[in-house]
Amino acid sequence: MDNNPFFEDLAAILEVEPGELQPDFVLNQENWNSLSIVSTIVLIDEYFSIAIPGENLRECKSLGELWQLIKDATNSPG
Amino acid sequence: MKRRRAALKAIFSYLAPEKLTNNMLAERFPDWNIDKAYQNTGVAVRSIAAADQCTSDLGIIAAEKMFAAGVCNPQDIDFLLFCTQTPDYFLPASACLMQDRLGLPTSCGAFDFNLGCSGYVYGLALGKGLIEAGLAENVLLIVGDTPSKAINPRDKGALALFSDGASATLLTALTSEDELIGPFVFGTDGKGAKNLIIPAGAFRQRSCPETRAERMDNDGNVRSPEQLFMDGAEIFNFTLQAIPPLVNRLLENAGLIWSEIDYVIFHQANQFMLEALRRKIKIPKEKFALILETHGNTSSASIPMALEIALQEGRIAKGNKILISGFGVGYSMAAAIITLI
């Protein structure tokens, strides 16, 4: 996840250093709230041109889960 | 070909008198990071209607400002359109009471229509239709809401965003070569209704003790089913996906390219979302209206308020082409080109 500009921007949203964003990075009530989720929705739209339902994003417990969600959405045909 | 056209003649707006500042919110919610919320919403101050003040009262003040300025007389108005989701009564239509209070002739047509963020664009379409079909000469379009009355005092997310106000626009008939209001494009996607809604209190789910019971959500915001609920994340998703194609469809229908548009006014929903839309559509900053800081999200009144400010500040002038777009609750959306006279 190093040197990927998406994660550098995501780190800014989560207010951590990009190096901290490893797959086991924990998304909790503190850092994963309505404000950071809407910011991430914009980021995902800008980088991948896809929309992921807010509810699915909210359920992510770790960065790994979030990344998997994005990968699945970008690979799916619709 | 010269023909009968509807034109936008004047706009007068009115923000509710009481103010709710970020400092006041920070005092009320000491554990909440208001600076972060401000970065997102862009709102520094909201306007709040008095306890006995309805949207119709705000709209009447806006219309009376127009009459006092000598733009037209109440007797000249032959149709009143009132767009609100916060009416005086379930029935009758607030527009009927406003006809009497504004001293409009009894020969005047009047009705309410129920839309929020998209309502101003729909109102212009209705007014244009009435005028160009020869059914009216002077249409008074009043739009606005008092969202504060539907927001729980412990729902900080909604409190931080919404603002009470109304705006009055005069549409008038004249003869012109060019279309002055329009073309329009519309859109509706009722699948999104549940994401911005007051679920209970009308006829689908009648008011009862359960619908008045308050619950706290994951973000610590409190509300009952009789109060405003917004799934901000889903509204962001909808807007980012639906609005760029909507406005591009409008330009295609109008036979225009972006460089021929002098100014762009989107419904003032949330600053962060508008900035994301602006970047996505590639609209230059200086052509893009942002009035959230001082006005908040005033629902259907946000577009005419931004239009009025742009006129006052001399950002737009006679002959300019303005692209407007409203989107949100419904989901309902619309966009149009206005040529200033």
Asked if B186 and B321 sit in the same domain, the reply is yes
Query: Which candidate in A15, A39, A42 is best for mutational testing of the B interface (most B CBs within 10 A)?
Result: A42
pLDDT < 50 regions, chain A: 78
* Residue A28 contacts B, CB cutoff 8 Å: no
DSSP helix/strand/coil, B33: coil
Residue B42 region, left (φ>0) first, then alpha (ψ -120 to 50), else beta? Answer: left
Asked if B17 and B130 sit in the same domain, the reply is yes
Residue B51: C-alpha distances to residues B17, B90, B146 (Å): 11, 18, 11
For residue B1, what pLDDT is reported? Answer: 84
Q: How confident is the model at residue B215 (pLDDT cuts 50, 70, 90)?
A: very high
Residue A43: C-alpha distances to residues A47, B201, B231, B269 (Å): 6, 37, 18, 18
Least confident of B5-19, B26-40, B71-85, B261-275: B26-40
Q: Give CA–CA dist B220/B217, Å, rounded.
A: 5
* Residue B233 contacts A, CB cutoff 8 Å: yes
Asked if B138 and B264 sit in the same domain, the reply is no
Residue at which a domain ends, from B178, B206, B228: B178
Asked if B125 and B144 sit in the same domain, the reply is yes
Interface size A-B, in CB pairs within 8 Å, comes to 52
- Residue B219, number of CB atoms within 10 A of its CB: 16
Asked if B146 and B234 sit in the same domain, the reply is no
Average pLDDT, chain B: 97
Residue at which a domain ends, from B178, B207, B226: B178
ipTM: 0.88
User: What single string gives the DSSP state of each residue in B125-158?
Assistant: HHHHHHHHTTS-SEEEEEEEE-GGGGS-TT-HHH
DSSP helix/strand/coil, B273: helix
Match 């037209």 to its residue by tokens: B72
Chain B environment of A33 (Cβ under 8 Å) = 219
Asked if B212 and B105 sit in the same domain, the reply is no
The set of catalytic residues of B is 117, 267, 297
For residue A78, what pLDDT is reported? Answer: 45
For residue B218, what pLDDT is reported? Answer: 82
* Residue B157 contacts A, CB cutoff 8 Å: yes
pLDDT of residue B245 exceeding 80, the answer is yes
Chain B environment of A53 (Cβ under 8 Å) = 233-234, 237
User: For residue range B160-187, what is the model confidence (pLDDT) as tens digits?
Assistant: 999 999 999 999 999 999 999 999 999 9
DSSP helix/strand/coil, B91: coil
Asked if B160 and B58 sit in the same domain, the reply is yes
The total of structural domains in chain B comes to 2
Chain A environment of B219 (Cβ under 8 Å) = 33-34
Task: Say which CATH number the domain at B25 has.
Answer: 3.40.47.10
Q: Give CA–CA dist A61/A73, Å, rounded.
A: 18
Asked if B145 and B62 sit in the same domain, the reply is yes
The average pLDDT across B86-104 equals 98
Q: How confident is the model at residue B240 (pLDDT cuts 50, 70, 90)?
A: very high
State the residue range of the domain holding B306.
182-339
Chain B environment of A39 (Cβ under 8 Å) = 40, 272
pTM, two decimal places: 0.96
Asked if B297 and B265 sit in the same domain, the reply is yes
User: In this predicted model, which residue has the larger pLDDT, B122 or A33?
Assistant: B122
Asked if B174 and B49 sit in the same domain, the reply is yes
Asked if B196 and B115 sit in the same domain, the reply is no
Share of chain B above pLDDT 90, in %: 98
DSSP helix/strand/coil, B320: coil
List Cβ neighbours of B64 (8 Å cut-off, separation of 6 or more). B102
Asked if B150 and B209 sit in the same domain, the reply is no
Query: Which candidate in A14, A35, A36, A69 is best for mutational testing of the B interface (most B CBs within 10 A)?
Result: A35
Residue at which a domain ends, from B115, B143, B178: B178
